[in-house]
Chain A
């Protein structure tokens, strides 16, 4: 396996210099590996994991369950790809079970997200139904726990 990919999967945030130390190869090679991963569309990009509830940044997130009609030739792909291209759509998955697509949407306000659902999503030919759930609070984000009350466990400075 690509050594950089291995480090990325482990999920710790390392600079390329740190990666070079951990993997024991020169930093130039790390950069080459990263470039290769980008080229292969395995590594798509960086995103910070943020808890915006602490910064009073207006942001609304919703999950939408969508039922769509599959098409000859492409199945669900054409419609799913078309929906995925909207800026509001953060993630889009094909699911097994009661609905077909699960879409994560975010926007600056409830109206903007609602507008996306009513104007863009539900008006598309092939979209049979949508069911929108707004997120109220998050407890864990991208692997990080979000602690709403700061109960830091006191660790003894010295312990036997």
Chain B
């Protein structure tokens, strides 16, 4: 059968953590810090809006771009929170999660062989999405000693002729890395200078803990070269609704719409109805969840550092990305060992690209009590594995 499979699909590697999670799913009493979604259920008023829509017979197709009401709500929300204004009529498209929006954008932009810069470690789908759109992905490293922020110098170093797109995800999954305004402005200037289109995946932007979030689209010359991608999964805990959106220059949105129109037609109407409710009345729910994540982040960062794993405080998202170097193990052995010895699941950093080597991703989107227990177990595991530098005095 292999000969029938398209080359670029056949050569695509499977997600590196698949076999690992096969093992996890068969084990009992595992505390999983491997899950990349909120532990909260969608706030009730949002779920109820979907039920209400169903009761009212909202079961039909919507416009390809999405419900006008939702696009208006998105436009207002983005303007209020990110200070960039987009016309609901032709600069906004509603998609099936940000994942679809990324796929649409890449397919709309890339000719075979076009190059895409992206920072790494990064979300597992970035590299494959570029490959599926016949592009070439060029990683830009980010570093732990820098809080995994993105540096323009590293982008400059990685840049090569043929680069057309820069993909950024700030705050970042898996590192929680964010970028301050000054650095982001330099990156923006570089994008203008090299005539790059920026795909800015801001799915975690409501979940920042130390500094206010800035979108790269606000800088001079950027709105016309940025596709702003956002969704409802993380901030509003709506992963299963599969709903997101893209905002950008009308011509680009129109090109994305063509693919969306023929492949997806429109995002599910019930998810769109729920999204309207989320944007218009969901602010309080987001605030409550953010406060919870903040408390958990402080706990986990403190406990991991005390327990012997060097861990920076992530500026956003709900992941910590500690180094496991102190244990003398590589990230994969650490993750397998921890699972076997203490039944705690974390994701090996190499699942997020080669630059993740020596780190693991632990999600703190888990109840506080569970996190305390998980940190206890990790500490026990680290103590048992760390090579002794000095004999203990008895």
Contacts and interface: CB of A to CB of B under 8 A. Distances in A.
A87 B52 CA distance: 17
B125 to A, nearest CB: 34
B52 A86 contact: no
Given A82-B48, A120-B48, A87 B43 contact: yes
B52 A123 contact: yes
A124 interface: yes
B55 interface: yes
Interface in A32-49: none
Interface in A97-154: 115, 120, 123-125
A86 B55 contact: no
B81 interface: no
B45 interface: yes
A6 to B, nearest CB: 27
Contact of A87 (B44, B51, B55): B44
A6 B27 CA distance: 40
Contacts of A115: 281
Contacts of A87: 43-45, 284-285
Interface residues of A, number: 9
Contacts of A86: 44-45, 48
Contacts of B284: 87
A6 B33 CA distance: 39
Interface in A47-104: 82, 85-87
B55 to A, nearest CB: 6
Interface of B: prevailing SS: helix
A125 B52 CA distance: 9
B50 to A, nearest CB: 12
Contact of B55 (A85, A120, A125): A125
A23 to B, nearest CB: 25
Contacts of A125: 55
Nearest to A126: B55
A123 B56 CA distance: 11
A85 B48 contact: yes
Contacts of B55: 125
A124 B55 CA distance: 9
Nearest to A89: B44
A125 B55 CA distance: 9
Interface string B13-24: 000000000000
Contacts of B45: 86-87, 120
Contacts of B285: 87
Nearest to A84: B44
B46 to A, nearest CB: 11
Interface in B258-283: 281
A82 B48 CA distance: 8
Nearest to A124: B52
Contacts of A120: 45, 48
Nearest to A85: B44
A94 B284 CA distance: 28
B51 to A, nearest CB: 8
A86 B45 CA distance: 6
Interface string B59-103: 000000000000000000000000000000000000000000000
B322 to A, nearest CB: 32
- Among A115, A120, A123, A125, chain B packs the most CB atoms within 10 A around the CB of A120
A147 B281 CA distance: 36
A123 B52 CA distance: 9
Which 8 residue pairs spanning A and B have beta carbons closest together? A85-B44, A86-B44, A86-B45, A125-B55, A87-B44, A82-B48, A120-B45, A87-B45
Interface of B: 43-45, 48, 51-52, 55, 281, 284-285
18 contacts: A82-B48, A82-B51, A85-B44, A85-B48, A86-B44, A86-B45, A86-B48, A87-B43, A87-B44, A87-B45, A87-B284, A87-B285, A115-B281, A120-B45, A120-B48, A123-B52, A124-B52, A125-B55
Given A86-B48, A120-B45, 4 more contacts: A87-B43, A87-B45, A124-B52, A125-B55
